[in-house]
Chain A
Amino acid sequence: MKPLDTTVVDVLKDGSQIRQKQMIADHYARLARARETGEKCVYTYVPGNLTELIRGFDLLPVLPEINALQSGMRGKSRDYIARAEKEGHSEDVCTYVKCDIGMKRSGNIGPTGERLPDPDLLLLSYTGCFTFLKWFELLREEYDCPVAMLHVPYQGDGKITDSMRRYVVDQLRDKIIPALEEASGKAFDLDRLRESLARSAQAEDDLVWVLQSAKNVPSPIDAYFGGVYYIGPIFTAFRGMPEAVDYYRELRAEIEQRLERGQGPVTPDGELESERFRVVVEGPPNWTSFRQFWKMFADEGAVVVASTYTKVGGVYDNGFRHDPDRPLESLAEYCLGCYTNLSLPTRVEMISRYVQDYRADGFLINSVKSCNSFSAGQLMILREVEKRTGRPGGFIESDLVDPRYFSASNIKNRLESYFQMIEQKRAGGGQ
């Protein structure tokens, strides 16, 4: 089995990190052997993922976004995107999509260097990102396999109504579960689902504790660059699995220890010794220059204390947990509650609360032009959050996995200017 080649993992050498690396490597190895072992797999997305349900049928999840970001980190995305563009995909299309299509056309080699299995089912469990629909349309053409689509209504009024919940539960029962039964050849087992959901809630409690540890000053974690590692297991293949429970328990213990010792977050250059700026970040990170991007913050002593991206799979801030007593209802609420399904006023409210609760000096938006789910309305968010919190907002632009849109010197320039602006404001004059 080849080790997982993730560029950044080596900077975080805690036990939980090693465990996570192994979990992911094992999963990919299992996927690579799936055809031999007869295991079947489902392609699905991170937002609103139905991992407990999928794994309840002994199906293996494959997440195209994760493959794309891994390709970005491993320096493969440029060629994959070029391949997709050569085949007619426009420059403005989401670069995750193009990276995925390019990867497929280049042999479908996954992050560990082994071939990914073709899907037995495409499970679209969240439709708030319109691109997801089109993406699976393309994959359906590629693989000629069935698609199960869960239509998730947008939280336009900022709340989940009974009828919205019922609408999603009905689809889960009448469409999604039968499709999973058909793909797996197994019958739905409600008790098994309940057990999984109980484990999910346990892991979720620990994850929430870890993310909220950043309310401490100084923060023991970076909730964006470090945070993307913390959400890895829960938003990919492992929520509801015993491995995830163990991982989050271990992670929490490590962070508790960091907190006790007054240690700052781990960065690409080791532990951050002096926390000079606390910021909230909105938007996904750039993956092609992830480490460089992180270093731009760390070099300034800037710690991200809260981020919206770490809520991309699902939002737990308001107390939501998967609930074994309400299995389908809580799955429905999970899909309805994912971050990009929230209305703009709700997102403004959420970011403003982060700025206040996490005692941030300001907030930054990393805007990705090709990601409509995140980027539409971000300038309005910027102005509104500034108005509500009185803290300065900053705006930078990059991309998910297209290296052509990461202009390092310009981004560094903006970030430096932004942090100097905060500093100047603190000093209260031309200091």
Chain B
Amino acid sequence: MEYCVGIDLGSTTTKAVIIDCQERLIGRGITNSRSNYDVACQIALDEALISARFGLIEGNLKQGHERLEPLERGFRRQQYLHQLDTLSRILVGLAGSGAAAGFLDRIVDDMRLESTALFGPEGNRKSDFFRDLAGSRYLSLAERFAREDGACFEALAGLYDKAILEVENTAGAAGSFEECLRDAVADVPGDVEDLRRAVEQAVAIELVQVGSVGTGYGRQRLPFPEGQIRSEILCHGLGAHAMFPATRTVLDIGGQDTKAIQVDDQGIVTSFQMNDRCAAGCGRYLGYIADEMNLGLHELGPLAEQSQRPVRINSTCTVFAGAELRERLSLGEKREDILAGLHRAIILRAMSLLARSGGVNDEFTFTGGVAKNPAAVGALAQLVQDNYGERTLNISPDSIYTGALGAALFAHRGSRAPVGSVE
């Protein structure tokens, strides 16, 4: 089976989308970006291929689709165990004969034991990334050993910080697909014969890459030839068009830049604006505010939505906003009111870029990590209504893959078009 892949190497995460010859999305994968871009791309692609295989397995199952979910959980657990092996090896190497060394095996052993519950039907996994899943458990166990057995928490935490980077930069840390899948099938309770058959059929299909295009912040570093690299602006435009064909204006607020893009009825970019001299008002702003308020990033939006009297925040400078935030708190303003003001400040900046790019035309598609934040979406919807009137606002739950999808479509539609003489 032939496929084309698009990879979007962002400042925070790396995304891969694969499509088949009919431009149908068959798989997608995401990983957190890291210093080694090649590894990040490889992992995102591996993840996308895994999701494509699961899609094939699902198609092969005549019935018993409910078996797929435990299979997938089991598969993720197997990957997690492989990553734990890598983590353990690196931790031990780093610790040498230091005092912390004696606790490492105990921590990792406990983490292995906990994995069954973590990936069980009731397991509480707040993230899909190994860094977050393992980090949260490791630190909590390190704390316990520090409290009960006199281990040095700082030393253990420091070791983890170093080791996790190395784990993330180790290709194949999550084990081979076939091996993890085989072990996962064996763990599924009950009669697994039809599942095993469906898996074997799916694994037997050869997935052949026939095209690839890279995009995103790190696109110059992608392991692709120059002709297969596209600007993320074009990819976001085409990706948004693929998700919502009536799209004419796209707003993407990512980790470190904001893009306002106008597209035509084919998804071709006609105009765009990006923040140039300053990254104020991008996704990182919210990350910083979350840290300042000791909240998780995903908690900001819902909290801001509870606001009754939003505070007017003027500064979109990330650092100044922190100062403004502290001042407002000391004046007794409610957290939710301040947060509502901060969300509005970000969106006001985006509105300025939108205006510069040619306004908000119908339909309007909002993408990027910030599109997952309900308070940001609320502020945007209100400001668009106030300034441009009624507009259809599209937000896909998969908006994070917009750029990668556009890249995959470019990959399918051929490499960079040759340019003849200019007339």
Q: Is the CB of A277 within 8 A of B409?
A: no
Known: A386-B271, A429-B266. A421 touches B234 (CB 8 A): yes
Q: Does the CB pair A417–B422 fall under 8 Å?
A: no
Known: A277-B422, A359-B423, A379-B356. A396 touches B276 (CB 8 A): yes
Query: Do B230 and A420 touch across chains, with their CB atoms under 8 A apart?
Result: yes
On chain A, the residues within 8 Å of B230 by CB distance are 420
- With a CB–CB cut-off of 8 A, which chain B residues contact A369? 277
**Stretch from A141-149, A204-212, A306-314, A403-411 contacting the other chain:** A403-411
**Interface size counted on chain A using CB atoms at 8 A:** 39
Q: Mark A254-297, 1 if CB is under 8 A from B, else 0.
A: 00000000000000000000011110000000000000000000
Does B298 interact with chain A (Cβ within 8 Å)? Answer: no
Of the candidates A361, A383, A416, A417, which one forms a contact with B358 in the assembled complex, judged by CB atoms under 8 Å apart? A383
Q: Are B274 and A414 in contact (CB under 8 A)?
A: yes
Give bound CA distance, A379 to B271, whole Å.
13
Residue of A361, A382, A429 touching B422 (CB-CB under 8 A): A361
Name the contact of A276 in the complex, choosing from B238, B270, B413, B419 (C-beta under 8 A).
Answer: B419
- Asked if A424 and B234 sit within 8 Å, CB to CB, the answer is yes
A395 touches B422 (CB 8 A): no
Complex Cα distance A275/B416, Å? Answer: 17
Q: Taking the nearest CB of chain A, how far is it from the CB of B42, in angstroms?
A: 23
Q: Which A residues lie within 8 Å of B419 (CB)?
A: 276, 301, 423, 426
Interface membership of B281, Cβ < 8 A = no
Rounded to whole angstroms, the CA-CA distance of A410 and B356 in the bound complex is 18
**Whole-angstrom CA separation of A430 from B415 in the bound complex:** 10
Tell me, yes or no, whether A1 is within 8 Å of chain B by CB: no
Closest approach, in angstroms, between the C-beta of B418 and any C-beta of chain A? 9
Which A residues are CB-close (under 8 A) to B422?
A: 217-218, 275-278, 359, 361
CA separation between A359 and B422, bound complex, in Å? Answer: 9
Cβ of B401 < 8 Å from any Cβ of A? no
In the assembled complex, the Cα of A425 lies from the Cα of B272 at a distance in Å of: 14
Instruction: Answer whether residue B308 sits at the interface, using C-beta atoms and an 8 A cutoff.
Output: no
Does B25 sit at the interface, judged by CB under 8 A? no
B241 to A: closest C-beta gap in Å: 8
Chain A residues closer than 8 Å to B157, beta-carbon distance: none
Determine whether the beta carbon of B238 is less than 8 Å from that of A430. yes
CA distance A425 to B422 in the complex (A): 13
The answer to whether A405 touches B416, judged by C-beta atoms less than 8 angstroms apart, is: no
Number of interface residues of B (CB under 8 A): 30
Q: Which of A381-431 contact B (CB under 8 A)?
A: 382-383, 386, 392-393, 395-398, 405, 407, 410-411, 413-414, 416-417, 420-421, 423-431
Q: Is the interface of B mostly helix, strand, loop or mixed?
A: loop
Do A429 and B413 form a contact, CB below 8 Å, given A386-B271, A421-B269, A424-B269?
yes
Partner of A421, one of B272, B410, B414, B416: B272
> Measured between alpha carbons, how far is A427 from B264 in the docked complex, in Å?
14
What per-residue 1/0 map shows which CB atoms of B248-284 lie under 8 Å from chain A? 0000000001000000001111111110110000000
- The CA of A420 and the CA of B417, in the complex, are separated in Å by 10
Whether the pair A414, B267 counts as a contact (CB closer than 8 A) is no
A430 cross-chain contacts in B, Cβ below 8 A? 238, 266-268, 409-410, 413
Closest A residue to B267 by beta carbon equals: A430
Contacting residues of chain B (363-418) with chain A, CB-CB under 8 angstroms: 409-410, 413-414, 416-417
Q: In the complex, what distance in Å separates the CA atom of A270 from the CA atom of B274?
A: 31
**At the interface, yes or no: B421 with Cβ under 8 Å from chain A?**
yes
Asked if B233 and A395 make an inter-chain contact with CB atoms under 8 angstroms apart, the answer reads no
In the assembled complex, the CB of A375 is this many whole angstroms from the nearest CB of chain B, namely 12
Query: In the complex, which residue of chain B has the Cβ closest to the Cβ of A420?
Result: B231
A371: min CB distance to chain B, Å: 13
Nearest A residue (CB) for B231: A417
Query: Once bound together, how far apart are the Cα atoms of A181 and B6, in whole Å?
Result: 71
Residue-wise, chain A 350-375 has the 8 Å CB interface mask toward B (1 for contact) of 00000000010100000001000000
Which of chain A's residues has its CB closest to B234's CB?
Answer: A420
Q: How far is the CA of A219 from the CA of B62 in the complex (A)?
A: 65
Q: Among A277, A407, A421, A425, which residue has its beta carbon within 8 angstroms of that of B233?
A: A421
Give the chain B neighbours of A421 by CB distance below 8 A: 231, 233-234, 268-270, 272
**Whole-angstrom CA separation of A349 from B276 in the bound complex:** 27
Chain B residues closer than 8 Å to A379, beta-carbon distance: 356
Interface 1/0s, chain B 104-140, versus A by CB < 8 A? Answer: 0000000000000000000000000000000000000
Bound-state CA distance A217–B233 (Å) is 29
**A-B contacts besides A410-B257, A430-B267, 13 pairs, CB < 8 Å:** A276-B419, A379-B356, A393-B271, A397-B277, A413-B274, A417-B234, A417-B269, A421-B233, A423-B419, A425-B270, A426-B419, A429-B266, A429-B268
- 11 interchain pairs (CB within 8 A)? A217-B423, A275-B422, A278-B422, A410-B274, A420-B230, A421-B272, A425-B268, A428-B268, A430-B266, A430-B413, A431-B410
Residues of B within 8 A of A (CB): 230-234, 238, 257, 266-274, 276-277, 356, 358, 409-410, 413-414, 416-417, 419, 421-423
Q: 5 nearest interchain CB pairs?
A: A417-B231, A397-B276, A431-B417, A427-B417, A417-B233
Binding site for B on A (CB under 8 A): 217-218, 275-278, 301, 359, 361, 369, 379, 382-383, 386, 392-393, 395-398, 405, 407, 410-411, 413-414, 416-417, 420-421, 423-431
